[in-house]
Structure 1
Amino acid sequence: MKLLKDILFGVRLSAVSGDTNVMVNQIHFDSRKVEMDDLFVAVRGTITDGHQYIQKAVESGARAIVCEELPELMVNGVTYIKVADSNSALAILASNYFDNPSKNLKLVGITGTNGKTTVSTLLYNLFKKAGYKVGLISTIKVMVDDKTYKTSHTTPDVLTINQHLSEMNDEGIEYCFMEVSSHGIHQKRTEGLHFTGAIFTNLSHDHLDYHKTFAEYRDTKKRLFDNLPKSAFALTNIDDKNGKIMLQNTKAKKQTYALKSYADFRAQILERQFNGQLLKIDENEIWTRLIGDFNAYNLLAIYATADLLGLEKMETLKLISELETVDGRFQYFISKERITAIVDYAHTPDALKNVLVTINALRTGNENVITVVGCGGDRDKSKRPVMGHIASEMSNQAIFTSDNPRTEDPETIIEEMEAGVEPQNTRKVLSIENRKQAIKTACKLALANDIILVTGKGHETYQETNGVRVDFDDFKEVKEALESLNK
Structure 2
Amino acid sequence: MLLKEILYKVNIESVVGSTDKKVQSIVFDSRKVELNSVFVAITGVAIDGHKFIKNAIELGATAVVVEKLPEDQIENVTYIQVPSTKKALAFMAANFYGNPSKDLKLVGITGTNGKTTCTSLLYRLFKSCGFKSGLISTVHILVDTTEYKATHTTPDPLTINHYLAEMRDAGVDYCFMEVSSHGIHQERTTGLHFAGGIFTNLSHDHLDYHKTFAEYRDVKKRFFDELPASAFALTNKDDKNGDVMLQNTKAVKRGYALKSFTDYRAHIIENQFGGLLLKINDQEVWCKMIGQFNAYNIAAIYGCAVELGLEPIEVLEKISQLEGVSGRFQYFTTAEDKITAIVDYAHTPDALKNVIETINAIRTKNETLITVVGCGGDRDATKRPKMGMIAASLSDKVIFTSDNPRTEDPQAILDDIEAGVEPQDFKKTVTVVDRKQAIKTAAVMAQPNDIILIAGKGHETYQEINGVRNDFDDREIIASLLNKLNK
TM over 0.5: yes
Alignment partners' CA distance in 2, 1:486 and 1:202: 40
Shift of 1:461: 0.2
Shift of 1:138: 0.1
Partner of 1:122: 121
Partner of 1:246: 245
Task: Indicate whether 1:80 and 2:79 are aligned.
Answer: yes
Residue 309 of structure 1 aligns to which amino acid in structure 2?
L
Task: Indicate whether 1:300 and 2:295 are aligned.
Answer: no
Alignment partners' CA distance in 2, 1:338 and 1:361: 18
Shift of 1:224: 0.6
Equivalent pairs counted in the alignment come to 486
Alignment partners' CA distance in 2, 1:10 and 1:174: 26
Shift of 1:438: 0.4
Partner of 1:394: 394
Residue 30 of structure 2 aligns to which amino acid in structure 1?
S
Alignment partners' CA distance in 1, 2:486 and 2:212: 49
Partner of 2:282: 283
TM-score in terms of structure 1 length? 0.99
Partner of 1:178: 177
Q: Deviations over 1:12-44 (max 9, x none)?
A: 110001011110110000001101111000010
Task: Indicate whether 1:192 and 2:191 are aligned.
Answer: yes
Task: Indicate whether 1:417 and 2:390 are aligned.
Answer: no
Q: Deviations over 1:97-149 (max 9, x none)?
A: 00000000000000000000000000000000000000000000000000000
Residue 268 of structure 1 aligns to which amino acid in structure 2?
H
Alignment partners' CA distance in 1, 2:127 and 2:303: 17
Partner of 1:316: 315
Alignment partners' CA distance in 1, 2:173 and 2:277: 31
Partner of 1:64: 63
Alignment partners' CA distance in 1, 2:31 and 2:72: 20
3-state secondary structure, aligned to 2:430: strand
Alignment partners' CA distance in 1, 2:80 and 2:330: 50
Task: Indicate whether 1:356 and 2:320 are aligned.
Answer: no
- Within-5 A mapping of 1:445-464: 445-464=445-464
Partner of 1:469: 469
Q: Deviations over 1:408-428 (max 9, x none)?
A: 011111111111111111000
Alignment partners' CA distance in 1, 2:287 and 2:167: 30
Residue 474 of structure 2 aligns to which amino acid in structure 1?
D
3-state secondary structure, aligned to 1:22: coil
Partner of 1:158: 157
Alignment partners' CA distance in 2, 1:409 and 1:335: 35
Alignment partners' CA distance in 2, 1:232 and 1:361: 38
Alignment partners' CA distance in 2, 1:427 and 1:147: 49
3-state secondary structure, aligned to 1:128: helix
Alignment partners' CA distance in 1, 2:410 and 2:484: 27
Alignment partners' CA distance in 2, 1:141 and 1:89: 26
Alignment partners' CA distance in 2, 1:122 and 1:365: 31
Shift of 1:277: 1.2
3-state secondary structure, aligned to 1:463: strand
Alignment partners' CA distance in 2, 1:50 and 1:425: 49
Q: Deviations over 1:165-199 (max 9, x none)?
A: 00001001010000000000000000000000000
Partner of 1:426: 426
Shift of 1:262: 1.1
Task: Indicate whether 1:50 and 2:43 are aligned.
Answer: no
Alignment partners' CA distance in 1, 2:444 and 2:274: 24
Partner of 1:267: 266
3-state secondary structure, aligned to 1:63: strand
Alignment partners' CA distance in 2, 1:13 and 1:288: 52
Partner of 2:344: 344
3-state secondary structure, aligned to 2:255: strand
3-state secondary structure, aligned to 1:390: helix
Alignment partners' CA distance in 1, 2:361 and 2:24: 58
Q: Deviations over 1:208-259 (max 9, x none)?
A: 0000000000000111100000000000001000000000000000000000
RMSD of aligned Cα (Å):
0.5
**Greater than 6 Å deviation, 4+ residue runs:** none
Shift of 1:486: 2.4
Alignment partners' CA distance in 1, 2:446 and 2:191: 52
Partner of 1:104: 103
Alignment partners' CA distance in 2, 1:233 and 1:272: 30
Residue 411 of structure 1 aligns to which amino acid in structure 2?
Q
Task: Indicate whether 1:481 and 2:481 are aligned.
Answer: yes
Shift of 1:275: 1.1
Residue 243 of structure 1 aligns to which amino acid in structure 2?
G
Alignment partners' CA distance in 1, 2:367 and 2:419: 27
Q: Deviations over 1:309-354 (max 9, x none)?
A: 0001111000000000000000000012100000000000000000
Residue 5 of structure 1 aligns to which amino acid in structure 2?
K
Partner of 2:145: 146
Residue 397 of structure 1 aligns to which amino acid in structure 2?
K
Alignment partners' CA distance in 2, 1:185 and 1:365: 43
3-state secondary structure, aligned to 1:220: helix
Q: Deviations over 1:269-320 (max 9, x none)?
A: 0011111010001111111110100000000000000000000111100000
Residue 431 of structure 1 aligns to which amino acid in structure 2?
T
Alignment partners' CA distance in 2, 1:279 and 1:86: 47
Alignment partners' CA distance in 2, 1:263 and 1:210: 33
Q: Deviations over 1:42-80 (max 9, x none)?
A: 010011000001111111111111100111111111111
- Percentage of pairs with the same residue: 64
Alignment partners' CA distance in 2, 1:79 and 1:473: 48
Shift of 1:206: 0.2
Residue 482 of structure 2 aligns to which amino acid in structure 1?
L
TM-score in terms of structure 2 length? 0.99
Residue 349 of structure 1 aligns to which amino acid in structure 2?
P
Alignment partners' CA distance in 2, 1:201 and 1:334: 30
Residue 417 of structure 1 aligns to which amino acid in structure 2?
I
Partner of 1:211: 210
3-state secondary structure, aligned to 2:381: coil
Residue 55 of structure 1 aligns to which amino acid in structure 2?
K
Q: Deviations over 1:342-399 (max 9, x none)?
A: 0000000000000011000001110110000000000000000100000000000000
Residue 368 of structure 2 aligns to which amino acid in structure 1?
N
Alignment partners' CA distance in 1, 2:304 and 2:486: 46
3-state secondary structure, aligned to 1:442: helix
Alignment partners' CA distance in 2, 1:184 and 1:117: 15
3-state secondary structure, aligned to 1:24: coil
Q: Give unmatched runs, 5+ long, in structure 2.
A: none
Alignment partners' CA distance in 2, 1:481 and 1:152: 29
Residue 449 of structure 1 aligns to which amino acid in structure 2?
N
Shift of 1:152: 1.1
Alignment partners' CA distance in 1, 2:69 and 2:44: 17
Alignment partners' CA distance in 2, 1:423 and 1:10: 58
3-state secondary structure, aligned to 1:478: helix
